[in-house]
Amino acid sequence: MAGLLSGLYGCRRSAGAEAGSGAFSAAGSGKLGVALVGLGKYSEEELAPALLETRACRLAGIVTGSPEKIGKWQRKYDIPDGNVYSYSDFDRIAENPDIDIVYVVLPNALHKEYTVRAAKAGKHVICEKPMAVSAAECEEMVAACKKAGKLLSIGYRMHFDPSTLLIRQLGENKTLGSFTSLTARDSQKMKSGQWRLDKALAGGGPLMDLGIYCVQASLYCAGELPVAVKARFGKIDDPEKFASVEQSIAFDLTFPSGLVAHCHSSYAEEENSLRIESDREWLEFSPAFSYSGLKGKTSQGKMNLPKVNQQALQMDDFARCVNEGTRSRVPGEMGLRDLKILEAIYEAAETGSEVKLKL
């Protein structure tokens, strides 16, 4: 395993070095401008700092409904007045050549609207996960970007983490043998009053927010698409808090090879793990889906994973796709596929019956 990791990644590298390739100057020449739509916690604590590390793109603009945030962001990131927008005048972004990419970081129910508006404004789009609150909305988003001739990518940062790349290579090369079992668990305790507890804004509960990581992990571990799903809602301990979304949900995805992924997600527990068993060995990550600090081990011993900035790698890769006119590794079609799976999981939990998948 140590030899495999060394061959895959070599020495530890920073996100900037990983994403660089020498095509862009440190001073920012040639970098694509990114506008963040929504200045909540994820934008403030993860995306904006990551844009200070990127080689191919930079933070060029902001879109917010909170005027009190504007001054702080302008001072910290040197954003000119002309690159600051509200939601009401967002469409004026079409007139701004300084902004090439719009990153939608809003509550799930607003993803479709701002993705479509950004595409109509002539901007490429990164949309945070989950892509939308329904597969039908995802289809509209894909169609709008295609009509505008703009690229659409989903904020699936895990696809740029070494752990994911390792799992894929192990699965393809059968280094640990054929995978026979998979368990993915992602849960966190959600405080009352969060928009994620409002189905009208979130589209659902922990499945939409955290369970989607389990779905994604299952698919890239299996290397194939699931054909059926079974699911069940967990008990509700706080009916007032969980009045419109599930408190927890467990689901099993069955794949053509016979592999079954057992998944669980909750807003009342703390879980973050991925375990894969093969016919010869096992592989486990805990935490498995965090922004950083992922740890892995196998039956052969501890893994030494390179440290990277997932978000910086994700955004630099999309900038490269825009520059080269190539398809993102996490395109809108992937987000659409995943919403179809999420909808099937909810259907299975609501009906108590297995739901067949045709993806």
* Per-residue pLDDT reduced to its tens digit, 276-315: 999 889 999 999 999 999 999 988 899 889 999 999 999 9
- Fold exhibited by the domain 10-157: Rossmann fold (3.40.50)
pLDDT, tens digit (0-9, with 9 covering 90-100), for 28-67: 458 999 999 999 999 999 999 999 999 999 999 999 999 9
Collect all residues with Cβ–Cβ distance below 8 Å to 10 and sequence separation of at least 6: none
Note if 76 is an active site residue: no
Strand partners, 248: 266
CA distances from 280 to 5, 101, 179, 230, 288 (A): 19, 45, 9, 27, 22
Residues with Cβ < 8 Å from 285, sequence gap 6 or more?
A: 163, 273, 274, 275, 294, 295, 296
Helix (H, G, I), strand (E, B) or coil at 281: coil
Q: Check if the beta carbon of residue 150 is closer than 8 Å to that of residue 125.
A: yes
- Quick check: 234 pLDDT over 80? yes
CA torsion through residues 146, 147, 152, 154, sign: negative
Is 8's pLDDT higher than 80?
Answer: no
In the three-class reduction of DSSP (H, G, I as helix; E, B as strand; rest coil), residue 60 is classed as strand
Q: How many residues does the chain have?
A: 359
The residue behind tokens 């789009």 is 125
CATH hierarchy code of domain 158-306+332-356: 3.30.360.10
Out of 31, 129, 150, 241, pick the active-site residue: 129
Question: What's the pLDDT band for 91 if we cut at 50, 70, 90?
Answer: very high
Say how far apart CA 237 and CA 267 lie, in whole Å: 11
Q: What is the mean pLDDT of residues 78-86?
A: 98
CA 236 distance to own-chain centroid: 27
Mean per-residue pLDDT for 102-118?
Answer: 98
**Could you tell me which residues come within 8 angstroms of residue 200 by beta carbon, excluding any fewer than 6 positions away?**
109, 244
pLDDT of residue 22: 32
Quote the mean pLDDT of the chain. Answer: 92
Nearest to 316 by CA among 12, 22, 120, 10: 22
Q: Give yes or no: 213 in active site.
A: yes
Give the three-state DSSP class for 54: coil
Structure confidence at residue 4 (pLDDT): 46
| 69: its two tokens | 């945030």
Give me the pLDDT at residue 178, please: 85
pLDDT of residue 300: 87
**Residue ranges of the chain assigned to CATH 3.30.360.10:** 158-306+332-356
Looking at this protein, which amino acid is placed at residue 170?
Answer: L
Interatomic CA distance for residues 168 and 4, integer angstroms: 13
Q: In this structure, what token pair is assigned to residue 317?
A: 């890769």
Question: Above 90 in pLDDT, residue 177?
Answer: no
- Confidence at residue 185, expressed as pLDDT on a 0 to 100 scale: 98
Q: Pick the catalytic residue: 213, 241, 267, 346?
A: 213
pLDDT for the residue 142: 98
Residue 256 has what pLDDT? Answer: 96
Q: Is the pLDDT of residue 102 over 90?
A: yes
Positions of CATH 3.40.50.720 in the chain: 10-157
DSSP state, residue 119: H
Q: Give the mean pLDDT of 77-103.
A: 98
Q: Give the percent of the chain with pLDDT over 70.
A: 92
- DSSP letter assigned to residue 147: H
- pLDDT of 176 reads 81
pLDDT of residue 15: 36
